[in-house]
Amino acid sequence: MQIGRSGRKLEFPLNELASEKNIDTEDQSPKPGSGVLRFLADILETILLSVILFLGINAITARVRVDGQSMVPTFDSGEFIIVSKLSYKFGEPERGDVVVFHLPRDPDQDYIKRAIGLPGDEVVIQDGSVFVNDRELDEPYINASPTYSGEWRVPGDALFVLGDNRNNSSDSHSWGVVPMEYIIGKAVFVYWPISAIGVVEHPSIALAAP
């Protein structure tokens, strides 16, 4: 009840006040099950974003584990490496690149080696040295000079690859060149173990003067 300025009593029916109070209460109360639906929607959104992120990362990178001693001293067995799949989508391999590829004779296996001969190159290994197009390579990254010899002509759609541990590596000197279509990408980063974390170096191989 309120008192108006004229002194007259202003009355409001109690049942109308109660009705208005009930309406306000009903409007403010959450709908049954709305919290559960919101929770489920959040989970679905998180899963969807995770799938998109996973597919996106896999589209541009690969993760490989070094197995064996063929790339010592550059990599040790057990190291995990991130590989860029985009490097050769927008550019060409360079001599000295560390590349990851499907093994030509068994595509289910992935290998990691160093690109030595590019398309069209002539590679000769003799007297412990590697020659490309009659010019000796300066290779400070190898474990030891090769004790084998041979000559290879690299086709226009392939790479000639060797392991840095020359005398303990299954590579092009034993099974031939790698077709470009078998190349997965370029090794760019070691992410495990912690002691080995770092960017993979790709020295531009210097050719001795003819």
Q: What is the pLDDT of residues 140-174, one digit of tens each?
A: 999 999 999 999 999 999 999 999 999 999 999 99
113 shares a domain with 77:
yes
pTM, 2 dp: 0.78
143 shares a domain with 96:
yes
Q: Is 4 inside a domain boundary?
A: no
More confident residue, 21 or 158: 158
* pLDDT at 12 exceeding the cut of 90: no
Which one from 84, 87, 113, 169 is the annotated catalytic residue?
Answer: 113
Q: Is 175 inside a domain boundary?
A: yes
CATH number for the domain that contains residue 106: 2.10.109.10
Active site residue 113: yes
User: What are the backbone angles phi and psi of residue 114, rounded to the nearest 5°?
Assistant: -105, 135
Q: Is 33 inside a domain boundary?
A: yes
Q: Is 106 inside a domain boundary?
A: yes
Q: Is 8 inside a domain boundary?
A: no
Active site residue 195: no
Which one from 70, 84, 169, 172 is the annotated catalytic residue?
Answer: 70
* pLDDT at 97 exceeding the cut of 90: yes
110 shares a domain with 190:
yes
199, 179 contact by CB (below 8 A): no
- For residue 130 the two structure tokens come to 């590697």
Q: Is 7 inside a domain boundary?
A: no
C-alpha distance across the termini of the chain, in Å: 111
195 shares a domain with 96:
yes
**How many structural domains comprise the chain?**
2
Containing structural domain, residue 30 = 14-61
Q: Is 5 inside a domain boundary?
A: no
